[in-house]
Chain A
């Protein structure tokens, strides 16, 4: 029965809207209403009795009103999906956001430093050399012993870093931009994962991802678009749940404080909403990693398709490719068409002349 209804409804409204916005909002308002009723001293049986005693017209008006409220809030949530994503990435512009940004960026810059293997190895080697120098110059027995211990400690750390290079590189690849983009670090984990994917095409091919992505999207095969859309949908869903959970935590907390509800109910709603929001955010971080990986894959595999679509000949060497993308960037941003370009004949794509 429900399947049939859902099938009918999804014919009118997109299933993405229903799953990512409507049902979360329905659950949110239902739960908030329950909290208000419980804290106002209503009992379930009493509520059912009052409901049953009402006129059918009044019942219909109430049901329509509730569905309107849910649909409206779901529409707002769906239309703000991009703004919500930007918020969780760390693009903030509210009072005291600068302080929060500094705290978050500082923390993640420290984490990124731990993943900067060449820099760490250089520093450790330098420290070991310094210790060896001090050891050879030292005369005092106690100091010598202490320097030896310190040297052993540094050598062990060097070995540990060398052994965990692969793991650290993987972590850096998935979760952070390259260490040379230290200034681009974002204050949140989710922000850094997406920033890493955003900077990936530039690091590899000097492709400006923000500029090229919307064009590349049009040449992606259907299957690839489907996977990316699904990954993005999962990310939006988790962020919608996190947002609604935190709004619930805040709204129910304020309400329960104002009506002087029992302490246990306040804690249950306030902490329960927060924990739910936190779990949903953790889920969003995982979904963001999957989405970011699909974006990287799209650039790796289909950038040539875009070049072909622009009627240019794909570059033969990495150096040529970097130069080609630099020229494409100049074309899009500045409108400067390189005079050396020769467009391929769309009919005989394989025998066109080389650009640049």
Chain B
């Protein structure tokens, strides 16, 4: 019979496997942790949860270091490009703000237009939004038109001039074909002092959006 080994090996292959796995795991994790620290950039993020259609002020923002891989494409990083714009969806605290979550950059005239307004959403067809060419930030005239009748052969139309288009959203419920609601919802900024008039008039009138060339 062969002589037993004088020296007992300290580890089996199983032990070596477990040990090498632990070491490789820790080294890999350490490398990724280090890379994350190296690749951080400073961006502006909300310091509180922002609701949809809220105008962002500088006091709503804070600067934060975020790993590059956590920054989505089309992130708006600078405070100057975020402030005074309004949100079109709710944005969570400390999350990067992307271009799609914000309305357009506003000119001074547009900012003035938004003063003392309330937001209303109206259902719209593809034709009403000019085949998809009407964009948030555009100005439209809203005409509320009543059909002629025996009682009122020449009904008076109501006009809301130079109304700011805040947002245009596709109506997802229609894509399933379950109901026959229009495909789009147009969010408009109506002067606050004409809110009641608008609400009263829209129930029995047809809405026409017109865009000046």
Chain B, residue nearest A257 (CB): B28
CB distance from A271 to the nearest CB of B (A): 5
Asked if B16 and A103 make an inter-chain contact with CB atoms under 8 angstroms apart, the answer reads yes
Contact with B along A79-109 (1 / 0, CB 8 A): 0000000000000000000001001101111
Across the interface, do A107 and B11 meet the contact criterion of CB distance under 8 Å?
A: yes
Give Cα A52–Cα B138 distance, bound, in whole angstroms.
31
List B1-23 residues whose CB lies under 8 Å from chain A.
1-2, 4-5, 8-9, 11-14, 16-18, 21
B35 on the interface (CB 8 Å rule)? yes
CA gap between A274 and B23 in the complex, in Å: 13
Q: Do the beta carbons of A41 and B72 come within 8 Å of each other?
A: yes
User: Mask for B6-48, Cβ within 8 A of A = 1, else 0?
Assistant: 0011011110111001001100110111011001000000000
- Say yes or no for A335: interface residue by CB 8 A criterion: no
Q: From B1, B9, B33, give the contact of A179 (CB < 8 A).
A: B1
Q: Are A180 and B1 in contact (CB under 8 A)?
A: yes
A contact residues, total (Cβ < 8 Å)? 33
In the complex, chain B residues whose CB is within 8 Å of the CB of A182: 1-2
Residue B212 is within 8 A (CB to CB) of chain A in the complex = no
| Shortest distance from the beta carbon of A303 to any chain B beta carbon, whole Å | 28
- Nearest CB of B to A351, in Å: 45
User: CA of A54 to CA of B9 in the docked complex: distance in angstroms?
Assistant: 59
Looking at the complex, which of A55-63, A169-177, A260-268, A289-297 is the stretch in contact with chain B?
A260-268
A256 contacts across to B, CB distance below 8 A: 28, 32
Number of B residues with CB within 8 Å of any CB on chain A = 26
Instruction: Tell me whether B9 and A274 are in contact (CB under 8 A).
Output: no
Q: Measured between alpha carbons, how far is A180 from B11 in the docked complex, in Å?
A: 24
Contact of A263 among B2, B5, B32, B72 (CB under 8 A): B32
Chain A interface, DSSP helix/strand/loop, else mixed: helix
B69 within 8 A of A: yes
How distant is B107 from chain A, measured CB to nearest CB, in Å?
33
Given A41-B72, A261-B69, A270-B24, are A107 and B4 neighbors across the interface (CB < 8 Å)?
no
Distance in Å: Cβ of B173 to nearest Cβ of chain A: 15
In the bound assembly, the distance between CA atoms of A76 and B209 in angstroms comes to 64
Q: Quick check: is A110 within 8 A (CB to CB) of the other chain? A: yes
Taking a contact as CB atoms under 8 Å apart, the answer to whether B35 and A271 are in contact is: no
A235 to chain B, nearest CB (A): 18
Q: 7 closest A-B pairs (Cβ-Cβ)? A: A106-B9, A263-B32, A107-B12, A113-B4, A104-B13, A263-B29, A110-B8
Q: A103-B13, A257-B31 are in contact. List 11 more A-B contacts (CB 8 A).
A: A106-B9, A110-B9, A116-B4, A182-B2, A183-B2, A189-B14, A253-B24, A262-B32, A262-B36, A263-B33, A278-B18
- A-B CB contact pairs (8 Å), 27 listed: A100-B13, A103-B9, A103-B11, A103-B16, A104-B13, A106-B8, A107-B12, A109-B4, A109-B5, A110-B4, A110-B5, A110-B9, A119-B1, A182-B1, A187-B13, A189-B14, A253-B28, A259-B69, A260-B32, A260-B69, A261-B32, A262-B32, A262-B36, A263-B29, A267-B29, A270-B21, A270-B25
